[in-house]
Chain A
């Protein structure tokens, strides 16, 4: 009897404590309705407090750039907050310059909406929309890279600049219970407004790339949002030096097709680096473009070709190849997309050739 009483007492106390916790959560974390004042009264949104600013805006179809899905690892979702954001968090500091902090910039994924917030959002971001697309085609480009073609709904089109990116939203799968989104550059030409092509390399254990590589099939619906990004063709020059590695080829491909299609008076040199032949793709496509267009030169290069590759093209690190081919920076712009290591090494080489920083545009992974 004594044991039963003890068990009952402990259960009652535990139940009571649990109830208090639930009630506290309800009252303490209930921020009620909050108002988001965007661009000094131009837009007013009413949201339920408690979510991040990024998510709250997204619910109202205002999509800020983000490559990491709100985990504070990309720093792309920064916005200028005029009031109501609370103190800056340590997770934001690495992504904000001293000037940005002074001007009130914050990572919207880290700002929790607890009260009314006034913020500024650049006008161009209001053009970003979400699209429910259908997977039209999936191509295996290499052992770990897939090309994905997404078809937009019949009554919708996406307008973007060559070089920009979209965010692809996954669905829960396997052990992954939540939807996530990640950024991928558009590989197709802007004139194809009804379709978007992406090039996605499998990241070992990556949540989004595993979804794409192992769970996505032709005919499946996929939500994307975009376009985002300031990596796009400027073209204030007579010659382009373009350098890519791996899936970094995507935005460069879009730029090349855009230039050719518009008949722009630009000479293009495209350096595509890989380790062995199995890492290269679209070789025939670019070789064909080069054969048909006198202003386009395609230079694929392998840094460690294997004997079985029977490679007769350029060899060496892509930086070494660029160093051999690019004589100077005269009237040139450079566009780079690849790993941070590759980009940094290329910046050095191009700097030595005389390229000013404002003539080099890059998209680091």
Chain B
């Protein structure tokens, strides 16, 4: 799909060295609009929404942050911890949002599967439906993410 000029500017903002060393797109050669649209379809197919996902991630981040780095239980399924780094990072969508540089790590106690996300991930998912490009270090695969966050649900 052809992109409007604003999305082209945003995609440029996501290149390596602009806001982060490796950027937000990894080796994904799709344009930003296509990345967002395709991920949106995946989320819908799995019976969830960007807002529901972001809300769950935020809840887990809040629980992890209270541990000041020490892993804490989150419900019956998860152990979560967070890691703070110096500074804040602006959202590449140029919406004047600045995220603390915090990584949250969650581990499913039963399966041992682990997932890591940032505060910026949560914002970009909630507001822009953006999970980063394939190959990006902080890419969250939407299908995998829904299954991970809502282990009790069967979403098909």
Query: Does B bind A?
Result: yes
Q: Which residues of A contact B (CB under 8 A)?
A: 67-68, 71-74, 90-91, 94, 172, 174-178, 182, 201, 203-207, 209-210, 245-247, 273-275, 303-304, 317-319, 338-342, 345, 365
Cα of A304 to Cα of B80 in the assembled complex, Å: 13
**A175 B22 Cβ-Cβ under 8 A:** yes
Contact status of A71 and B17, CB under 8 A, knowing A206-B101, A275-B70, A317-B70:
no
Cα of A74 to Cα of B89 in the assembled complex, Å: 10
Cα of A71 to Cα of B88 in the assembled complex, Å: 10
Chain B residues with CB under 8 A of A342: 68, 84
**B70 A178 Cβ-Cβ under 8 A:** no
Chain A residues with CB under 8 A of B15: 175
**A275 B69 Cβ-Cβ under 8 A:** yes
Q: Nearest chain-A residue to B101 (Cβ)?
A: A203
Contact status of A318 and B87, CB under 8 A, knowing A176-B21, A204-B103:
no
Cα of A200 to Cα of B72 in the assembled complex, Å: 27
Q: Which of B22, B68, B137 contacts A318 (CB 8 A)?
A: B68
Of listed B16, B20, B70, B87, residue having the most chain A CB within 10 A: B87
Cα of A341 to Cα of B65 in the assembled complex, Å: 7
Q: Nearest chain-B residue to A185 (Cβ)?
A: B86
Cα of A142 to Cα of B22 in the assembled complex, Å: 23
**A205 B69 Cβ-Cβ under 8 A:** no
Cα of A327 to Cα of B60 in the assembled complex, Å: 34
- Expressed in whole angstroms, the minimum distance between the Cβ of A258 and any Cβ of chain B is 23
Does B110 interact with chain A (Cβ within 8 Å)? no
**A207 B70 Cβ-Cβ under 8 A:** no
Contact status of A303 and B68, CB under 8 A, knowing A176-B17, A365-B87:
yes
Cα of A68 to Cα of B82 in the assembled complex, Å: 22
Does B100 interact with chain A (Cβ within 8 Å)? yes
Q: What are the 3 tightest A-B residue pairs by CB atom distance, in nearest-first order?
A: A339-B84, A175-B16, A176-B17
Cα of A224 to Cα of B101 in the assembled complex, Å: 23
Chain B residues with CB under 8 A of A246: 84
Q: Which of A94, A205, A303, A339 contacts B70 (CB 8 A)?
A: A303
- Expressed in whole angstroms, the minimum distance between the Cβ of A46 and any Cβ of chain B is 32
**A319 B68 Cβ-Cβ under 8 A:** yes
Number of A-B pairs, beta carbon distance below 8 Å? 99
Q: Which of B16, B67, B138 contacts A176 (CB 8 A)?
A: B16
Cα of A275 to Cα of B82 in the assembled complex, Å: 11
Chain A residues with CB under 8 A of B66: 341
**A73 B86 Cβ-Cβ under 8 A:** no
Contact status of A73 and B21, CB under 8 A, knowing A205-B137, A317-B70, A342-B68:
no
Chain B residues with CB under 8 A of A74: 87-88
Chain A residues with CB under 8 A of B84: 246, 338-342, 365
Contact status of A206 and B20, CB under 8 A, knowing A73-B89, A341-B65:
yes
**A73 B87 Cβ-Cβ under 8 A:** yes
Does B96 interact with chain A (Cβ within 8 Å)? yes
**A345 B68 Cβ-Cβ under 8 A:** yes
* 29 A/B residue pairs, CB under 8 Å, sorted by A: A71-B19, A72-B98, A73-B87, A73-B88, A73-B90, A74-B88, A174-B17, A174-B21, A175-B15, A175-B16, A176-B21, A182-B87, A201-B85, A201-B86, A205-B20, A206-B87, A206-B101, A207-B20, A245-B68, A245-B69, A247-B86, A274-B69, A317-B70, A318-B68, A338-B84, A339-B68, A341-B66, A341-B68, A342-B84
Cα of A147 to Cα of B73 in the assembled complex, Å: 34
